[in-house]
Amino acid sequence: MKKYLIKRVIHRLDGISQITCVDSGNGRIASLRFRTDAFDLPLLAGRMYMLRTAARSHGVNLVAALECGLDISAWATLTEHNFFLADIQLKPTAKRLLTSLDAAQRERLLASLVQNDLKSWQGVLPEPQCTLLGVAFQEAQQRYQHVKRLMAWGLPQTRAEACYDTFGSDACALPLARLKALLSFGSSQLIQSALSSQTSLEASQRGALELLTWFRDQGLRGRTIVHKTELPKSSAKALELCTHRDWTIVDGEYCQLKSHAMLQVAVRRQLERLSSGFFPTYTPQEVQYGYSRYSQVIASYDHHNYQDEIIVAINSRLSVITARALPSVCEFTSQLYGTLQILYAPAPQLVVYSTSMLPIYDACTENVAVPFHELPPDLAEYATVIITDCHLLTLSDFLVALKGIPASARVVLFDARPAMPEHPAHFLDDLKTYYPVITLHAANHAVSAIPAPEPKPSGDEQMFNVHCAEQWHQSSTGEIFVSDSPSLIATINQRLSRVRATVVLQTQETSFRKHDRIRVRPAHANKWDPFICRIHSVSVKGLFVQAEGRYSTLSPELVDEAKVSLGFAMSPEAAVQAGARSVVLIATKASRYAWVEYLKAYRIEVKQVYVHDQLMAAKTVPISHQRLTPLVE
């Protein structure tokens, strides 16, 4: 074992960490690798360790580490890097002075720094910096001790550091600290092991851990409100504890996780804000006048008469419009556009789900549509915001969109679920019971009268089996499989992931291998367009991926705030959300044409259609949430 001072630590996305360190004996610089979760003490820059190394195929590995105190053998490196304290910047003259000191003086200074007694520093550094150095050094010591403690509870170093940075000095001090650390930063595997071992947590905390993770899992399936009788057995006590700590809320017979309640209440507050201010309405005559003027200007032969629908949309603060087909959405939007402008209202702002959908709605408007998370901050007073494809939004997306809408705006939401063969539950259903609903009848073009089935896909209608997927995958590696059966999606994803390839991305819960196709979605409050890509390699800069022929690097920060899942196969909605270009469809015999139509409307090319005879278990999953619509208007 040799003594090293660590200069830099980088945790890569594949669960490998790299450190650069200085051998304190001969001053040589070494670069070592290790698995991030291999040690139970934090390896931090600016600290000294006894390290044992071993040469392996990928370079020199770190095999054992022991902590030891700082000593003056690395004095030059310490002073050069400002003692590895982020907010300290020593002046060059001070650095020169520090390096010119003899060994005894260095010893004395280092000892006084460690003991937080900066008397002997006062001759070396000017005053404010001297105190700042002491404070920063002590903070670094405290951070190290806390992170070490958290790691002893089983968290890997990266998560332990995040936990300390989030909870601060309370991270280990509280009686419930371990529970909090596990729930906020532990992987589900770690939580399972904490639950199964009898000693690590006391019984009441174990119950709470179990209950809260159960709530979270239910919430991911859309069920966020639970009746007390539906709770898992013997969880009454845990519920009491969680409610006392304000982690869950109980109202009468129903209970809910605090985070779910906060999101739903936030949406309700936003909707209340939208309906609180003054809102101008127009008489039907005014709208009719505008509409007829518009019709004359456009003078198109095949435009559908949406006059009544437009009167409703213009005179309501928020309306939900259901449409069977995208052309009628476009038609309605451009009519609304024209009529509103003839009524001297500002031109509506069209909002789409993602940038990849912009070309679909290009024809509807003259001004530029934006993704829902990029609403311009300078929307006009009494503007109109039209959000298309609301059925793709999650409640969190919806909240982000609502926050960008000024209080005086008129909001039109489009629900395109009728175009889908099945009608999944969505929070829009709740809005529909409160706000006016407009149903758009399909524009009666002559074209739509022709029966939908096209000759091409029906020609070779094959039963699907996994070998088909493998063949497609081998012949052209660019195809994404889309299916309406969750079990088929899981099977294909499992089958096409190469078990033997090296792990390139290691997330909290799963690992992804070289050449895996992944679907990346925003998980946090910061929203961006979801996308599908194929992972190639990993470096300290991030993940090197290929998406639609273009190569790019995903930064660790982006991956950190993303939800990553395998993307060989996915549901049709997911493919639309992620902006897929071409897919292979696997659907039931009854709904395959509807799915082809649905995907085509979003400009997704369907390369091949297979049928499957999987039983569709539980068509619509019940979702539950608080009332979203305003209580008082």
Partner 1 sequence: MRKGSIDLTWLAAKIGATRQIFYPGRGNPEVHMLLAMLNEYLKKSISTLPGGAPPNIENSRLQTELTLIKQENSTLKQKLRSARHELNMIHAGGIVLSDRS
Give the residues lining the site for partner 1 (CB under 8 A): 117, 119, 127-128, 131-132, 134-136, 139, 165-168, 180, 183-184, 212, 215-216, 219-220, 224, 245-247, 257-260, 262-263, 266, 396, 399-400, 523-525, 561, 563
Q: Are 587 and 579 in contact (CB under 8 A)?
A: no
Residue 485 Cβ vs partner 1, minimum distance, rounded to whole Å: 24
Residue 631 Cβ vs partner 1, minimum distance, rounded to whole Å: 20
Q: How far is CA 89 from CA 48, 85, 108, 130, in A?
A: 21, 8, 21, 11
Q: Nearer Cβ to partner 1, position 64 or 136? A: 136
Q: Are 413 and 629 in contact (CB under 8 A)?
A: no
For residues 244 and 11, what is the distance between their CA atoms, to the nearest angstrom? 38
Handedness of CA 552, 557, 560, 562 (dihedral sign): negative
Residue 264 Cβ vs partner 1, minimum distance, rounded to whole Å: 10
Q: Nearer Cβ to partner 1, position 259 or 565? A: 259
**CB atoms closer than 10 angstroms to residue 219:** 20
Closest C-alpha among 305, 297, 302 to residue 341 = 297
Residue 4 Cβ vs partner 1, minimum distance, rounded to whole Å: 28
- Six-digit token string for 27: 């001053």
β-strands 48-56, 480-483 pairing:
unpaired
Q: Are 402 and 272 in contact (CB under 8 A)?
A: no
Q: Nearer Cβ to partner 1, position 93 or 115? A: 115
Residue 116 Cβ vs partner 1, minimum distance, rounded to whole Å: 10
- Burial (CB < 10 A; 0-12, 13-18, 19+), residue 56, is exposed
∠ CA 516-520-521, nearest 5°, is 160
Residue 402 Cβ vs partner 1, minimum distance, rounded to whole Å: 13
Residue 357 Cβ vs partner 1, minimum distance, rounded to whole Å: 22
- Six-digit token string for 47: 């600290």
Q: Are 483 and 527 in contact (CB under 8 A)?
A: no
State the angle between helix axes of 284-298 and 307-315 in degrees (0 to 180), rounded to the nearest 10.
130
In 75-230, the DSSP E strands lie at 225-227
Q: Nearer Cβ to partner 1, position 195 or 503? A: 195
Q: Nearer Cβ to partner 1, position 375 or 609? A: 375
For residues 357 and 372, what is the distance between their CA atoms, to the nearest angstrom? 11
Q: Nearer Cβ to partner 1, position 190 or 419? A: 190
State the angle between helix axes of 188-196 and 177-185 in degrees (0 to 180), rounded to the nearest 10.
140
Q: Nearer Cβ to partner 1, position 183 or 559? A: 183
For residues 237 and 243, what is the distance between their CA atoms, to the nearest angstrom? 10
Q: Nearer Cβ to partner 1, position 180 or 317? A: 180
Q: What are phi and psi of 3, to 5 degrees?
A: -90, 130
Closest C-alpha among 626, 627, 625, 628 to residue 218 = 625
Q: Nearer Cβ to partner 1, position 257 or 323? A: 257
Residue type, 447: V
For residues 74 and 517, what is the distance between their CA atoms, to the nearest angstrom? 46
Residue 215 Cβ vs partner 1, minimum distance, rounded to whole Å: 8
Residue 425 Cβ vs partner 1, minimum distance, rounded to whole Å: 16
Q: Nearer Cβ to partner 1, position 268 or 445? A: 268
Closest C-alpha among 550, 410, 575, 556 to residue 480 = 575
Residue 131 Cβ vs partner 1, minimum distance, rounded to whole Å: 5
β-strands 384-387, 410-415 pairing:
parallel
DSSP summary character for residue 53: E
Q: Nearer Cβ to partner 1, position 61 or 508? A: 508
Residue type, 123: G
Residue 338 Cβ vs partner 1, minimum distance, rounded to whole Å: 37
In 69-146, the DSSP E strands lie at none
Strand, coil or helix: what is 23? strand
Residue 319 Cβ vs partner 1, minimum distance, rounded to whole Å: 26
Q: Nearer Cβ to partner 1, position 164 or 481? A: 164
For residues 359 and 602, what is the distance between their CA atoms, to the nearest angstrom? 9
- Six-digit token string for 616: 């569709």
For residues 173 and 156, what is the distance between their CA atoms, to the nearest angstrom? 19
Q: Nearer Cβ to partner 1, position 92 or 128? A: 128
Residue 166 Cβ vs partner 1, minimum distance, rounded to whole Å: 5
Q: Nearer Cβ to partner 1, position 258 or 273? A: 258
Residue 259 Cβ vs partner 1, minimum distance, rounded to whole Å: 4
